[in-house]
Amino acid sequence: MTAAAERIAQLRKLMAERGIDAYVIPMADFHQSEYVGEHFKAIRFVTGFSGSYATVAITKDKAGLWTDGRYFTQVLTECEGSGIELMKMFVDDTPGTVEWVAQQVPDGGKVAFDGRVLSMGDGQAYEEAFADRNVDIDYEQALVEEIWKDRPALSEEPAWYLEEKYSGESTGSKLNRVREEMKKAGANIHLVASLDDVAWLLNMRGNDIDFFPLVLAYVIVREDSADLYVEEKKLNDDLRKMLKENNVNVHPYNDIYEDAKKVDASATALIDPMKMNYALYKKLPCKVVQGANPTILMKAIKNETEIKNVRNAELKDSVALTKFIYWLKNNYDKMKITELSASEKLTQLRSEQEGYIRDSFEPLHAFGAHAAMMHYSPTPESDVELKGGQMLLSDTGGGYLEGSTDITRTTILGSISDEMKKYYTAVYKSMQHLSAANFLYGNHGWSLDVLARQPIWDLNKDFQCGTGHGFGYLGSIHEPPTGFRWYIVPSKNEHHQFEEGMMVTDEPGIYEEGEFGIRIENNLLTVKGEKNKYGQFMHFETLNFVPIDLDGIDPSELTKSEKEWLNEYHKACFEKLSPYMNDEERAWLEEYTREI
């Protein structure tokens, strides 16, 4: 019996003892974070699946794991022998988790979960699914906690103040803007549980989640004060001073649940059902107004200071990544380089840049067939040596005081097959079409996504995930409320119209299971274009300047405009990067940014 099968058996034993027909385990922490700290990696502990996006549901004789196309291959590999069925989200008629659980639980039965890690919205969906079936919904069952004997403790890392020269706006100003939105919603208190929203609102950063500079905390914004729930020992003098100046009172982290019960019953609370956990919602005795956290849109529209800073961060990051590609292409056949040693080299090059804090997410360096798993990250057990005739997909980013980056380059090692070159060229075309989009204000990601997807659809292929996502300023690397996807997934909150100042990635790909994977990703800034009788036109500014590997491009497959865009982009890459290169790197850069 595998470790996963054994742990599922332990959970089933507890379920049987407590009369539970179905038990649900989300991939989340108490704040509905996309990426979580070690303490919250319950799905990895139970199933062995190490990806970032999943939900598991277990009954007495079935177990399913729901995830999207990024992780289908990874689930089959990591959960082999566990008895877990892969449930392919957004594919054909695969039932959602709530629908599937509703099918498994009999009338008068019981479904359970730890409500601290289930979103309010999902909890309400279970309520609706079982409204007329006399099913008990028990949200206080932390079963995984009972069998996870060596569970890592909650992080105690220190927090720090992000100065206004980086944030571009004071905490007081942000609080006042939120209070204005509260008034519009008819609320006099606003609970903020999502970590990136707390971080942005208070200009507070930390280290409680690997790679993401966030702090485990909640905030209750009131009409003339605010309450911060955080372990006080994490706060330095700068933060204490700032909080005091803005009438923000500090309370112990876990007191939020008891204090929620004490909220005045006559109050009206604004809460985001997708950014609030179900247990906290159930504690509130007052009227609730549901709506998106106002901070979501505020932080997505970067201010002038943030934009200026991000441009600097992107240049630094482009220097590091270009030096890495030069090193890789010139040394893979001269020394032993593996996925992990390549990852270490790139992190070292980034760390040499001023203002570097840490990588902005777990580096994904995938060679050959590993790259067919969209979010593969090497481990000592899976690490392989790089060889010629294949490609290394590097999806990585840097976190700097001036902002965060998220960029993918697929590097050709030696000569590749005509098939690989055909697909590489198609992926470039897809990325370029979206980068060069000129569109009227009011467009959303779902209306523009086809621009990127068409060259790949023309090959009767698809990459089974979104084409791009918003990214935060020292926050979450996947940031709502905008992104690119040809269909709408309400839970992802990625379909707000594009506003001036929004930053988004553009990252199409082709993934051939067991063979190779190709992805090319740029970071884009939404800017205004011409305004005329037809309306306000918008377009994207490319923020990063890392060459696209010409060894993978077939010029005969490109249109005139596709060539012109690539030539102009490479010209800019050389102009911006060459001052930071040594003589050998500069000569190589000139060759790899040549006009085609």
Cβ 189 vs Cβ 285: under 8 Å: no
Cβ 43 vs Cβ 161: under 8 Å: no
pLDDT of residue 1: 84
SS3 for 566?
A: helix
Cβ 40 vs Cβ 28: under 8 Å: yes
pLDDT of residue 325: 98
- How would you classify the pairing of strands 218-222 and 189-192? antiparallel
pLDDT of residue 11: 97
pLDDT beneath 70: ranges in the chain: none
Please give the Cα distance from 32 to 29 (Å, whole number): 6
Q: Strand 189-192: give its sheet, edge to edge.
A: 248-251, 226-229, 218-222, 189-192, 268-271, 287-290
Closest to 506 in 3D by CA, of 407, 395, 576, 363: 407
pLDDT of residue 34: 84
Structure tokens at 261: 């019960």
Please give the Cα distance from 555 to 197 (Å, whole number): 45
pLDDT of residue 375: 85
Burial of 107 from C-beta contacts in 10 A (0-12 / 13-18 / 19+): exposed
pLDDT tens-digit map of 170-186: 999 999 999 999 999 99
pLDDT of residue 70: 82
Q: What is the DSSP string of 403-434?
A: EE--EEEEEEES---HHHHHHHHHHHHHHHHH
Please give the Cα distance from 576 to 384 (Å, whole number): 34
Cβ 46 vs Cβ 9: under 8 Å: no
Helix spans in 284-391 (H): 294-300, 304-331, 339-351
Please give the Cα distance from 202 to 188 (Å, whole number): 19
Cβ 360 vs Cβ 521: under 8 Å: no
Cβ 426 vs Cβ 441: under 8 Å: no
Strand partners, 140: 114
Burial per residue of 571-583, b for 16 or more beta-carbon CB atoms within 10 angstroms, e otherwise = eebbebbeebbee
Q: How does the average pLDDT of the chain come out, rounded?
A: 96
